[in-house]
Amino acid sequence: MRIAFENYVHTTARNGETIKLQARPYGRTETNQHTYVASELNVSKYRNEGRNAEECEAIMGQLTDVDYWHPLNRCLEAIDSVAKVNLGGEQNVTAMIRITKADEVTVDSEALSNYATLCPGDVRYVALVPDKETSDKFQLSPANPPTQVPLYVAYIATGMPQIGSQAARAVPVRIRVNFR
What is the pLDDT confidence band of residue 31, given thresholds at 50, 70 and 90? Answer: low
Rounded CA gap, 153 and 132, in Å? 10
| Residue 141 located in a structural domain | yes
| Residue 116 located in a structural domain | yes
| Residue 179 located in a structural domain | no
Q: Which region among 24-28, 90-94, 128-132 has the lowest average model confidence (pLDDT)?
A: 24-28
| Residue 85 located in a structural domain | yes
Single-letter residue type at 27: G
Single-letter residue type at 83: A
Q: How many domains are there within the chain? A: 1
Rounded CA gap, 90 and 77, in Å? 27
53-60 helix and 109-118 helix, angle to the nearest 10 degrees: 50
Model confidence, pTM: 0.86
**Helical H runs in 61-142?**
109-118, 132-137
DSSP 91-106: EEEEEEEEE-S-SEEE
Domain with 24, as residue range(s), is 2-168
Rounded CA gap, 1 and 102, in Å? 10
Over residues 134-143, the pLDDT tens digits come to: 999 999 999 8
Over residues 155-178, the pLDDT tens digits come to: 999 876 665 544 344 334 444 555
Indicate if the pLDDT at residue 71 is higher than 90: yes
pLDDT at 165: 45
- Count of residues making up the chain: 180
Contact 85, 41 (CB under 8 A): yes
Please count the helices (runs of H) and the strands (runs of E) in the chain: 4, 10
How confident is the prediction for the chain on average, in pLDDT?
Answer: 87
| Residue 178 located in a structural domain | no
Beta bridge partners of 21: 39, 156
How far is the CA of 146 from the CAs of 9, 67, 127, 180, in angstroms?
A: 28, 28, 16, 75
| Residue 144 located in a structural domain | yes
Name the more confident of 128 and 179.
128
